[in-house]
Chain A
Amino acid sequence: MALSFLLPSFFKKPNIRQGLRLKSRCTNFHLLHQRIGNPCRYLIVMSASAATAVKHKILLLDDDPDVLDLYQQMLLQLPSEPEVHISSAGASAMTMLDAEPFSILISDLKMPRMDGLQVLAIVRRKYPQLRTVVLTGVADPQMRARAYAMGIDIYLEKPTSEKEISFFKDCIESLLDSEHSGGFRGVQSKSLVDLIQLECLSGSSCILKITNGKLEGRIWIQNGEVYDSTTQDVQGEDAFRRILSWRAGNFEILPIDLERPRKIMTSYQGLLLDTAQALDEAQAGGGSSEPGDNLSDTQYFRKAGLGRIHGVEFALRVPLDQDREVHKWGIENPEPIVTWLRAVVGRFQALHPGFELGAIDTLETRGIQRIIHVTLHSSDLIVVGMLPNASKDQISESTKKVLERWAS
């Protein structure tokens, strides 16, 4: 009835054409303006949306009723508008979980009778698809390690500031968003290099929080590129290197903070290679010898700082004289490229199709995987492998930097 009064004036508006789509919480209304006889009548078609919004359910477990009220109000404000149920004891929480499916369980740890860890142990076994979050007022690294070892998704301390509240809400919202993407969870030790490569190769955007006893560090990854890092009082690449020097610890994957400005410009491959080389040298007790003093390739190129040049995947120094050694960086087996390159140079230098072609200056190849840029410098071919999306300016700049550092 109400609609029949509203519609005529509504459809007189110039922007309304033939149809209007209204959406309520659970149903889509398709409103078609169709003349049916005179006066004009409106055909209203109501159709249940094929993509009816899924209602997430969160179960909040804490023995403190004030905490339950406070966090329930906080969670009800989330953009995905979840249903928030509360429970003050582990046993009643288990009953609620048995009765209906939940998306997330947010649990305190220190509770009488059945503590949080006991609840989590049961939940992990009975409801493997349920996301679990620990929300505790106790900052205890051992408790954190135990909780993660049990397979929880996030370990959070109860927020005490506006920023922390906002972070807490972002974490929960991010878990709700990823609920339908599925996935497997398990507990296995992985090196930091593996973790970073995994996140970067999958094009993720997240914050990798690494803890090593009392030490804590963070690595920001956006669209598969490392763009900042902090630990203690250090930031940027220095912080990244320091974090990677830690031998063991725990990690958490947190939602990304999009406002953070980029401080690290080097590609993640360059960062990892550079850092790995530095660690190898530190372990081997590598000294500070000068280029030309029988340095290994690793030391030679690390001195040149090639890993810091954005977009450079690998570099080679190929002497035209086949008896001289080829220097390589960032590539395991350069033999195929070197053989091909020498054949191409020889072939085109010997080409005389009725006019003088001259000596070779540069050679550039493009493919799906990479761009290879070759420059003749003295009697050596400087080969630079770059990412396939590098622009002409980037190629030119990176090649110049490689040449400068090499010449130095």
Chain B
Amino acid sequence: MGLLSFLKTPKTQGPPPLPSGSYTVDRDGKVVTRTISSAVSGETLEQISAQVLQTFKDAKQAELNMTEFSITMGAMNIKARELRGGAIIFLSPRGAALK
């Protein structure tokens, strides 16, 4: 009936879990395969992969001869290996709040 609805406290939702797993992208950054939960959108993964591919591209221009890199941030560890123009990217959460 809704009369007592003001007494009902809304359930607080906890932050969704950080993505964990791996995925491969082609040279355009499009996701090819993934082990990461489908709760994480393709756009999110492509945002990350765009930065990863740009990092590899810049390294090539700087003649750094880099085949893989790993970046450890507060909430997440991102490891990427170049794969014939594309990349395989591993995401491992370290534990942090979501937006």
Residue pair B75, A358 in contact (C-beta under 8 Å): yes
CA distance A367 to B67 in the complex (A): 5
Q: Convert B51-89 into 0s and 1s, putting 1 for each residue whose CB lies closer than 8 angstroms to a CB of A.
A: 100110011001111111111111110100000000000
Distance to closest chain A CB from B36 (angstroms) = 12
- Given the known interface contacts A348-B51, A360-B72, A365-B59, the answer about A355 and B99 at a Cβ–Cβ threshold of 8 Å is yes
CA distance A352 to B48 in the complex (A): 9
Check if B7 is an interface residue, CB within 8 A of chain A.
no
Binds B, one of A78-86, A237-245, A295-303, A338-346: A338-346
CA distance A384 to B63 in the complex (A): 17
Contact of B75 among A355, A367, A368 (CB under 8 A): A355
Residue pair A336, B64 in contact (C-beta under 8 Å): yes
Residue pair A337, B96 in contact (C-beta under 8 Å): no
Q: How many residues of B contact A (CB 8 A)?
A: 33
Residue pair A366, B69 in contact (C-beta under 8 Å): yes
Residue pair B48, A353 in contact (C-beta under 8 Å): yes
| B69: nearest chain-A partner, CB-CB | A365
Residue pair B55, A353 in contact (C-beta under 8 Å): no
Distance to closest chain A CB from B67 (angstroms) = 5
Contact of B68 among A353, A357, A366 (CB under 8 A): A366
CB-defined contacts of A344 to chain B, threshold 8 Å: 55, 58, 71
CB-defined contacts of A362 to chain B, threshold 8 Å: 71-72
A-B contact count (CB 8 A): 94
Residue pair A351, B59 in contact (C-beta under 8 Å): no
CA distance A362 to B97 in the complex (A): 20
| B48: nearest chain-A partner, CB-CB | A353
CB-defined contacts of A353 to chain B, threshold 8 Å: 44-45, 47-48
CB-defined contacts of B66 to chain A, threshold 8 Å: 365-367, 372
Question: Which of A347, A357, A363, A372 is most buried by chain B, counting CB atoms within 10 A of its CB?
Answer: A357
CA distance A168 to B71 in the complex (A): 56
Q: Convert A366-395 into 0s and 1s, putting 1 for each residue whose CB lies closer than 8 angstroms to a CB of B.
A: 111100100000000000000000000000
Residue pair A363, B75 in contact (C-beta under 8 Å): no
Residue pair B73, A358 in contact (C-beta under 8 Å): yes
CA distance A342 to B76 in the complex (A): 19
Contact of A340 among B41, B58, B76 (CB under 8 A): B58
Q: What is the interface of chain B, defined by CB distance below 8 A to chain A?
A: 18-19, 41, 44-45, 47-48, 51, 54-55, 58-59, 62-76, 78, 94, 96-99
- Apart from A339-B62, A348-B73: 20 A-B pairs, beta carbons within 8 A: A337-B64, A340-B62, A344-B55, A354-B44, A354-B99, A356-B74, A356-B75, A356-B96, A357-B74, A358-B73, A358-B76, A358-B96, A363-B71, A364-B69, A365-B59, A365-B64, A365-B66, A365-B69, A366-B66, A366-B68
Instruction: Provide a sorted-by-A list of 17 A–B residue pairs whose CB atoms are within 8 angstroms.
Output: A344-B71, A347-B51, A348-B71, A348-B73, A353-B47, A355-B75, A355-B98, A355-B99, A357-B76, A360-B72, A360-B73, A363-B71, A364-B69, A364-B71, A366-B68, A368-B65, A372-B66
